[in-house]
Amino acid sequence: MKVVAQRLFALHGVDSISVKDIVASAGQRNNASLHYHFGSKEALIGELLLDGAIRVDARRQAMLDELEEEGGPRSVRDVLEALIRPVDQLTYGDERDNTYIRFLANLQAGHRDLVRHYLGDQWNVGYRRCLDHLRRLLHEFPAPLLEQRMSLIGIYANAIFAAKEAAMDVTQPNRFWAPKYTIENIIDSLQAVVECTPSALTLSLLDAPESKGGAHKRKQPSRSRPNS
């Protein structure tokens, strides 16, 4: 039932899927079976979140432990390898894994409070260790810009691997993701995001007050009227 529910949530979103939909797709006879095993739809969502998060976190921490035992991570690339590869591995997983990233991306888009509630700080230790290493390695970078960029690489990675997961979840191979350099190129791209030198304009706006919605409007140059 968990595999069926995760696929439905991944493809259609959690708000569009009812207990009845899950039970019917799982071949069960009544809604009581879901409540018996999980207690509620929200509890089922929480259990699915933990299933994937625990596996990703364990892989991340193992990679970081190995790097730290050798005196690292010594580079941003090392950190991004530990951050990204455990997520990429899910796209090659079994039926438990091959819808998890889309399921998580849907939840983060509309139910971030639910994600925070179930994962808290316990099941993203590897993620937070990665961020601490990035802060150490990029300590000369303006802190507000670095914090925003670290959030951006998380957003970008979710979108990238949700698309990759969807492309691999079909019988017809997708040539876009097939090249052997794909994961290396993805990590290259995310490294460029976090390490790119800020523009003079970005730096000039560091202390500017935030406008409504967090966007700063650039002043448009005035246009002179033509002589009549």
Rounded CA-CA distance 211/190 in Å is 28
Per-10-residue mean pLDDT, the chain, length 228: 89 87 75 67 92 95 98 97 95 81 92 90 92 97 97 96 92 86 98 97 90 58 51
Whether this prediction's pTM lies above 0.75 is answered by: yes
Write the class of the CATH domain 2-196.
Answer: mainly alpha
The per-residue pLDDT for 219 is 53
Domain ranges within the chain, ordered by starting residue: 2-196
Instruction: Check if the beta carbon of residue 192 is closer than 8 Å to that of residue 121.
Output: no
The per-residue pLDDT for 225 is 52
Across the chain, the runs of DSSP E, i.e. the strands, are none
Instruction: Check if the beta carbon of residue 59 is closer than 8 Å to that of residue 125.
Output: no
SS3 content of the chain, % helix, strand, coil (to 5): 70, 0, 30
The per-residue pLDDT for 228 is 44
Rounded CA-CA distance 152/83 in Å is 13
